[in-house]
Structure formats: C-alpha cells, structure tokens
Structure 1
C-alpha cells in the first residue's frame, strides 16, 4: 500500500496559507494546517481531511510540538507564515513592528525548517517552499522593515539551497507581487479598511490566494530532480512595485 503524501503549511488560517492547504489536499496530500488561530485551522482541517496544529512559528516550543505531531516523515513544507506591519519611513520606524516582521518572516521560517528538516530528508524526496515576496527583491519608501525581512526570507532560502545540495530535499521560493487577500493589507494598516482598500483601488485583476496556491502545488509536484529555485509571480497589471495599471 502506497503511503499518503504529507505536507505542512504554516500560516494556514487564512489567505495564501488556507488556499495552499486546500490545493495540496486536492492533490492528494494529508495537510497539517499550522497557525495560531485554533478555530480557523480546525474548520479548515475538517473541510479538507487534514490535521490542525495550533502553532506559533516564533515560539521554539510551539514549533517542536508541531514537529512531534508531524512525526518522522514529511514530504512538503510550505513556510507561509509571515506578515507586514506598518508603512512608516525609517525615520519614524516602530522598533516593535520591525522586530515582529523579522521574527515571523525569518526566525520563524528558520525554526520551522530546522525542526522539520529531518523528516523531510527521511522522506527521500522532500520539498520546501518558502513564501517570499517581490518586496524581497526591491526597495520602496515606507517598506524598509518588510523589505528587509523578505530579503531575509530570500537569502535564507538561497543559503539553504547551497547547504542541502547533497540531500534529497528541494529548496524553493515563490515571490508574489500584488495579491489581494482578506487580511494582508488590513493587518499592515492595523484594521484601517480604507487604507487597505486603497492598495488595490482600480486594479481589476490582482492576484488572489488561489493563484499562489496553484503555483506552489505545481512547484512541489514537479519530478524530484526538478528544483524551481525561484518563481516570481505578479498580476499582469503590475510591471513593478511602483508601476501598476489602475484602470
């Protein structure tokens, strides 16, 4: 009997994480839905036949508990947990916001990867997808805290790719541009609905979470010898961070 494939998706309570959990379940994976909000991931796990694991990626103990639930073998890890907080220039930067962004986008990613790497190696053909951002490739005013954190995501991925070159684990990054989800901009602007809506104003077709989930599923389902090192994905309307068609 063939063993069912397994996947961990962090930040699975909403947006890209929830969409990715659904997509991977549809592709035949048993998905461990990891996030802080128990009610959301429990509902998602019930919907897709997965397992909900309440997880705070910034807590080493919480991550170790996740690894214990996953067990000795894992096929796919999607490090999706992340976030942007604030849009202040460096001169008015909030130190706590910067620490939170680095903690979740870089330290959290490292802790989860470190804890689950033995299980990924044990699978014989593991795959890691780190969810970065086009913000990890370019600077823009007001974005220094987030761009620094997502540059960190990118460089950790590149370093891990070098370090695991002789192991049966693929290391990949997906870098989305403008993706309209229910929470990302709302969290960034501390619940200011008007500012969150303005981000997407006039853009008829930004990317949606399902677009990214589809791409992630494609990446991990390539043959084991195919490593999609980096995939940048943007809506047609977005030529660059500062150049977006608003009809």
Structure 2
C-alpha cells in the first residue's frame, strides 16, 4: 500500500483520499516549473486538476508573492488538497475549488497555469472510477484542456504541462492550433540507461525556438539520484542536501 503521506522539507502531503498519489515525475514538474518561475512577476496561478495539491505547494514554497487557485473535480481529493493547503506555511495564499475546469467562470485572467492532466486517452481502464478519472482523459481531454487554458490565461501568460513522452508531440500540435508553442521542454528518463517516458513542457504564445533538455532521475546503476535531479529537488526532498 502506498504511504498515506509524503513529507517534504517545508510541507507534508497527505494523500489517502486521492486516487493518484505523489509520484516522482510530478515532483519533477513542480521543481522544474518553480525554477522557471523563480524571480518572475507572476502573481496569480491556476492549478488544474490539483489532486493532493502537490504542485501548488511546491510553487508556493518558491514564489512568496504569488496566490494559487486550484481546481479539482473529485470532492474527496479537493478536500484533501484543502487540508494540505491549510496545514502548510502558505495557507493564506492557497485555495481550492471543487469544480469542472470547463465550467470555471472567466474573470481575472491568470499569469500562469500548471497542470498534470489525465494521461491515457486510449489506454485500458481499470474498475476504479476515481482512478480512471484521475489517469484517463474521461472528463477533460487535451483539446478541452487547451480551451480552458486559452480562456483562463492572460495573452502573455504561460503554462506548464506534464505528459507521457509518447503523446507529447500530438499535444504540441494541438497546442499550436490554439496559438501556443513550447518555450522549454524537459524529457524525463527513469535512469541514464532508460528511454524517455515523460515530458514537461512550458508553453506560451509567440515563443521562439524551444530549449530542449533531457534529465534522468537515477544513474546507470539505478542506485543514486543524478546530479541534475538532485539539484532540482534539493529544495523539497527531505533527505537531499
């Protein structure tokens, strides 16, 4: 059974009510995105499909002047995120809405959007309805996600997305049709001798040629975190120094 909580250096994520638990690639997205935003003038961030609230918490740690609004469709997960937010040092800057992202009112546009969306559009589904909702595009496919982003994001804003490597190029084409191009791309490998399995993309309108990098989580012996991974996750992971 997965741990019911995940303790970071400055906050703890409880996850017993969430279908999708804390995972390494999501932590990497949070750290990579926080590094991209650090020192920026981003003031309002929308977290679509927040789950445990992990991504908002990671960004809140590094962006002291930013307010985070998270949206989550599943009531239990939204309650868990709210509790994690309340227990964090940044509770006054974190809030969660129980809603379908497609039905969010368009009021003041956001400076930045982060999302770890459902992954598997065509994959076989399990018997667990909530896990399907969290992992498969049963409620918010990539086209719909991009439409939400276009409605909620300021014209000069940007967004971060975590996807399987195998579908990233298809998503990139859909994003281009909405006017968004990748500014930064990070391909992720489990280890130095594995193939790429995830991709983090940061998109904006009028982006130039994308800066493309690859990071391995562990070394060739699968025993140690790589130096690049350690540098990114050191502000968060409890035992990285």
Q: TM-score, normalised by structure 2?
A: 0.49
Q: What is the TM-score with the length of structure 1 in the denominator?
A: 0.48
Task: Indicate the structure with greater helix content.
Answer: 1
